[in-house]
Amino acid sequence: MQTQGAPILTPPYGTPSPFEAGVVRHARARGRIPTAASSTTPLQDLHGVITPNGLFFERHHAGVPTIDPAQHRLMVHGLVDRPLIFTMDELMRFPSQTRMHFLECSGNSNYAAAPASATAGDIHGLISCCEWTGVPLATVLAEAGVQSHAAWVLAEGADAAGMTRSIPIAKALDDALLVYAQNGERLRPEQGYPLRVLLPGYEGNMSVKWLRRLKVGDQPFETREETSKYTDLMPDGTARQFTFVMEAKSVITFPSGSQQLQGHGFYEISGVAWSGRGRITRAEVSTDGGASWRDAVLQEPVLSKCLTRFRAPWTWDGAPALLQSRATDETGYVQPPRETLIGVRGLNSGYHNNAIQTWSVLADGSVRNAA
């Protein structure tokens, strides 16, 4: 209090405290193509349900393109009465909606064993949540005049991967948005600036970024990203295609992997739950590895296809403990144990793992991943 603080506007766009320099996204191992990469949201360092834009997880198939919004165009064609090309200014004149939704990569929480030192973000950080603003896809399709036998819509990105996915027309006409803003400001480059599609509750790669083209058809387009990739190979050698919805899931973010409790006594267990099918209706926690469960409190408002923060009081007696959480959504579906999920799906596929996570609290207060 003895010295004047820093003056204003340095910089005009603010940044976190230097004391929070460790709260960043973490890049995951890259393959042969360096731009085909991902980075995770540090869930263990976050509170509430909003992910700040600077920490929103990334998954790119060919890096982040630089797109001048004044030059960008969206083409709508195929089984429509009036093929159309829009500028960004034209698109943004349509009526907009704002909604809070999570976005989760289908490859989140890969089944492969993570090390004991793994954090919540390391294992489950390919999920983020923010407030999206955009134009309902249904509005733009109505403007083009979708023909009666239309059944699917191809969404194509303007990245070097030419990312393409087929969207069922029912979803396109339901709650799909053409998004231009996140958490108040325009989309971040790595989230598809200046335009992406958002399919609430569906696996993340379908919410195609840097959206440049929508083609309406009468059957799925069988793109690379829905045939050789993003299908679930089952134990019998057949594959599940078009597993769109991300099922109910949860993870405790405190206490979680690599965190350290400061002695026994009172703690508040806290985590996030979500479902691609709607609202979370229940989150339970266990401190004995699933032998017994009790209800956590859900932070209001509980929104559809959105992260829900849950909290439960816990007095730690200093003995080793196994912490788990499980989510139930409005359809009645309950998040399964890891063994149950593997029993059905096997380990051929790394996608759609919504199994219960276990954190092990050791007697010294350290917290470790116990899968």
> Of 31-50, which residues contact a copy of itself (CB under 8 A)?
33-35, 37-39, 45-50
Cα separation, 243 vs 16, in Å, equals: 38
Cα dist from 119 to 20, 104, 290, 369, whole Å: 17, 17, 20, 7
Interacting residue with a copy of itself among 110, 145, 151, 188 (CB under 8 A): 188
Interaction with a copy of itself in 82-101: which residues (CB under 8 A)?
89, 93-98
Total residues belonging to the chain: 371
Among 75, 106, 118, 158, contact with a copy of itself (rule: CB under 8 A)? 158
CB of 297 to a copy of itself, least distance (A): 9
Report the residue number, 196 or 345, with the smaller CB distance to a copy of itself. 196
Binding segment for a copy of itself (CB under 8 A), chosen from 77-85, 190-198, 216-224, 277-285, is 190-198
Residues 197-256 that bind a copy of itself (CB under 8 A): none
Give yes or no for a cis peptide into 220 (omega within 30° of 0).
no
**How is residue 132 written in tokens?**
């999206």
Reduce the DSSP state of residue 120 to 3 states and report it.
Answer: helix
Which of 110, 125, 224, 268 is the binder for a copy of itself (CB under 8 A)?
Answer: 268
Specify the residue, 58 or 226, whose C-beta has the smaller distance to a copy of itself: 58
Q: How far is the CB of 59 from a copy of itself (least distance, A)?
A: 9
Instruction: Tell me the C-alpha distance between 20 and 13, whole Å.
Output: 17
Which of 193, 61, 190, 77 minimizes the C-alpha distance to 134? 193
Q: Using the rule CB under 8 A, give the single segment among 144-152, 165-173, 182-190, 329-337 that binds a copy of itself.
A: 182-190
* Among positions 84, 138, 151, 181, the unique one binding a copy of itself when judged by CB under 8 A: 181
**Interacting stretch for a copy of itself, rule CB under 8 A, among 18-26, 168-176, 239-247, 344-352?**
18-26
Beta carbons within 8 Å of 201's beta carbon, 6+ residues apart: 101, 245, 246, 275, 276, 277, 278, 305
157 touches 165 (CB < 8 A):
no
Asked whether position 190 contacts a copy of itself by CB under 8 A, the answer is yes
- Cβ(205)–Cβ(213) below 8 Å: no
Asked if residues 62 and 160 have their Cβ atoms less than 8 Å apart, the reply is: yes
Number of shown-chain residues binding a copy of itself (CB under 8 A): 91
Q: Does 20 bind a copy of itself (CB under 8 A)?
A: yes
Structure tokens at 28: 């995951």
The nearer residue to a copy of itself, 311 or 338, going by C-beta atoms, is 311
Gap between the terminal Cα atoms of the chain: 47
Binding test (CB under 8 A) with a copy of itself, winner from 81, 148, 266, 315: 266
Residue 23 contacts a copy of itself per CB under 8 A:
yes
Q: Is 148 in the site for a copy of itself (CB under 8 A)?
A: no
* Interaction between residue 303 and a copy of itself (CB under 8 A): yes
Residue in 101, 215, 282, 309 binding a copy of itself, rule: CB under 8 A: 309
- Closest C-alpha to 322, from 296, 283, 291: 291
Q: Which residues pair with 73 in a beta bridge?
A: 87
Q: How far is the CB of 60 from a copy of itself (least distance, A)?
A: 7
Collect all residues with Cβ–Cβ distance below 8 Å to 121 and sequence separation of at least 6. 26, 40, 41, 42, 43, 44, 45
Half-sphere exposure of 346 (CA within 13 A, CB side): 11
Q: Which stretch binds a copy of itself (CB under 8 A): 63-71, 73-81, 234-242, 334-342?
A: 63-71
Contacts of a copy of itself in 98-127 (CB under 8 A): 98
β-strands 73-78, 211-217: how paired? parallel
d(CA 130, CA 50) in angstroms, rounded, equals 5
Site string for a copy of itself, 274-293 (x = CB under 8 A): --------------------
Separation between Cα atoms, residue 252 and residue 272, nearest integer Å: 7
Of 189 and 220, which CB lies nearer to a copy of itself in the complex structure?
189
